[in-house]
Chain A
Amino acid sequence: MKNVLALLSFLLVSANSAQASIDETINNLTAPIATWLADIVFFKIPFFGTGLPVVVLWLVVGAVFFTFYTGFVNIRGFKHAIQLVRGDFSNPNDHGEVSHFQALATAVSGTVGIGNIGGVAVAVTVGGAGATFWLIVAGFLGMSTKFVECTLGVKYRSEFEDGHVSGGPMYYLKKGFAERGMPKFGKVMGTFYAIGIFLGALGIGNMFQSNQAYVQLNNVAGGRLDGLGWLIGLILAIVVFLVIMGGIKSIARVTEKIVPFMAIFYCLFAVIVILMNIDSIPQAVANIFTGAFTGEGVAGGALGAMIIGFQRAVFSNEAGIGSASIAHAAVKTNEPVTEGVVSLLEPFIDTIVICTITALVIGTAQVADPNFAGDATGVAMTSAAFERKISWFPIPLAFAGVLFAFSTMISWSYYGLKGWTYMFGEGDIGQTFYKFVYCIFVALGSMVQLGPILDISDALVFLICVPNIFGLYFLAPIVKAEMNSYFARVKSGEIKKYR
């Protein structure tokens, strides 16, 4: 027993000192690449005294275009989306297939994460209350981008002999451009996207999540987990391993049930906290609107608030990045448009509903007590806003944060896998190798300092929206034709309503 303890303490000490040098090496190696890449991807054009990242502009212009081009499908398709999710158009003969609700829930659990809790706090700190307004606007416009990319994801997926499917931007880029007589260009774009989503999955979808999960747990434990990141990382890696290797379905089943429950639980308590601040609501809402157009106290004024809001919305709902398109492509359906219509609801739930309530929790707390959170920002700030009214809430909140991070890791493991199989084929050995590597990165995520690594993956995820949106512009006429035909058939009753 003594020996074991001695060994353990030795391991702990050496792990700590080794950790410092590993961190240093990794930082030294990656920092220059990160700076270089971030400088390119997040290149800012000077704009009325503030910097406008080109990539954010690229995404927003795309979203505005698709909103107009589809004739405001984000409004027109909304009711139909709810009907589809409720199963009004599901043929009982097809029961047992993936339902629209399941496709939506899976895609949403990939996007609902730390961003909804902490990202909003960052937006409000940097961009003021007004950033919330632009966050909502961006979420609204993002619905159209999602519609276009998810429709294409289904339309251009590849189906293999054993019945499994692979789809997503890499496939519609490759096939879509080939159809238009540009096969080589399509191949380059597809591969570029596949590499980006693969590396992005390892970083933002994996290491960042595992790191945040550790930070959450450590905060709740009052710092008692300092230096134990490797242990938390190892545990997370093992759990993720069990889920994605497919051996143990029960964990997936349990988490996938807890995650939506946590999301509802979070929203419910957020609303309760907002109501407990009832006196501050009018002022908080007023701040959102005035801040949006005056940008008081924000660097860059109203424009600064707008940029921050847009940026956070994209981070949160991933519209334009194309990730949800990969998840939706897995669903069997004869009508690609149905998946697009359902996916409309993702930015709505993620950004317009969840992010907005978080913003209101923080906003009402700020009105009551401008310094409620001290210097805290990110998740800690949101947590403090809850704590003001419900003292025990930080603990379940941290728990929710860990679960959100976990479900995001599971979803992104799939996105990364599809990037991998696109590049290296559908072979089982390759897939297993990928999953193994993925789990190693989960463990690494809470062990090493993320700084530059995260910057690289962040940049890559935004970089892939360049080929993606480019492809969306190019293939938009196909989506429009499909959409018009589909809605016409719904109207004429050719697509039958079963309920």
Chain B
Amino acid sequence: MKNNIIVALDGSDGGKRALAVAATYAKLTESKIYLCYIIDWSPYSFHTPQELEERQKRRDSEMQRANEQILQPEVPVLIDMGLSVETIVRHGKVANALSHLANEHHASQIYIGRLGESRVQSMIFGSVTAALIQSSEVPVTVVP
């Protein structure tokens, strides 16, 4: 059975460190890497009708930009290592979307960088990493 792992990137150094650890592991276990970027989005926000109309266009450009600027630059190195890679950009709540993706692609693990949220930030918004650990159905590796 082929092994799949999810790696969450967010454009930060933490994400890159998580990817480095994941790549080593993937090489050893011959796993496929799903490079994921989650665009924070809520279905319960409010918009003017004009914004609703432009939403589709903006969604496409958001996804394209995330793929081009954050995910694609990491791909060549992984391919050189002989790994198989797929990139995914999705909208949603980060923790929730990642555990969904893990289910969808039958991943055995999720790799995520520690986000370096300050105490105040996580008190107000809740920590993404903590939320992921609580909601994930597969092991989560948090890379400092």
Dominant SS at the B interface? Answer: helix
Cβ of B60: which chain A residues have Cβ within 8 Å of it? 163
CB distance from A102 to the nearest CB of B (A): 6
Cβ of A87: which chain B residues have Cβ within 8 Å of it? 43
- CB-CB nearest in chain B for A414: B49
Dominant SS at the A interface? Answer: helix
Whether B48 and A97, one on each chain, are in contact in the complex, defined by CB atoms closer than 8 angstroms, is no
Interface footprint category on B: 20 to 34
User: Residue A472 at the B interface, CB < 8 A?
Assistant: no
Whether A96 and B50, one on each chain, are in contact in the complex, defined by CB atoms closer than 8 angstroms, is no
Whether A92 and B90, one on each chain, are in contact in the complex, defined by CB atoms closer than 8 angstroms, is yes
Chain B 47-68, CB within 8 Å of chain A: the 1/0 string?
A: 1111111111101101100000
Q: How far, in whole Å, are A110 and B46 apart by their CA atoms in the complex?
A: 12
- CB-CB nearest in chain A for B38: A95
- CB-CB nearest in chain A for B49: A414
Number of A-B contacts (CB under 8 A): 92
8 Å CB contacts to B: which residues of A449-475?
none
8 Å CB contacts to B: which residues of A237-263?
243-244, 246, 249, 252-253, 256-257, 259-260
- CB-CB nearest in chain A for B104: A92
Q: How far, in whole Å, are A259 and B39 apart by their CA atoms in the complex?
A: 26
Which of B47, B48, B54, B91 has a CB less than 8 Å from the CB of A96?
B91
Whether B46 and A327, one on each chain, are in contact in the complex, defined by CB atoms closer than 8 angstroms, is no
8 Å CB contacts to B: which residues of A94-116?
95-103, 105-106, 109-110
Q: How far, in whole Å, are A103 and B46 apart by their CA atoms in the complex?
A: 9
Which of B43, B49, B56 has a CB less than 8 Å from the CB of A106?
B49
- CB-CB nearest in chain A for B43: A99
Residues of B at the A interface (CB closer than 8 Å) are 39, 41, 43-57, 59-60, 62-63, 90-92, 97, 100, 104
Cβ of A249: which chain B residues have Cβ within 8 Å of it? 51
Q: How far, in whole Å, are A95 and B55 apart by their CA atoms in the complex?
A: 11
Question: If the complex has contacts A105-B46, A256-B47, A259-B46, are A96 and B53 also in contact, measured as CB distance less than 8 A?
Answer: no
CB distance from A434 to the nearest CB of B (A): 12
4 A-B pairs with least C-beta separation: A96-B91, A99-B43, A256-B46, A414-B49
Q: How far, in whole Å, are A415 and B43 apart by their CA atoms in the complex?
A: 23
- CB-CB nearest in chain A for B45: A102
Question: If the complex has contacts A96-B39, A96-B63, are A165 and B46 also in contact, measured as CB distance less than 8 A?
Answer: no
Q: How far, in whole Å, are A460 and B63 apart by their CA atoms in the complex?
A: 43
CB distance from B48 to the nearest CB of A (A): 5
Cβ of A96: which chain B residues have Cβ within 8 Å of it? 39, 41, 55, 59, 62-63, 90-92
Q: How far, in whole Å, are A87 and B57 apart by their CA atoms in the complex?
A: 21
Which of A165, A259, A410, A415 has a CB less than 8 Å from the CB of B53?
A165
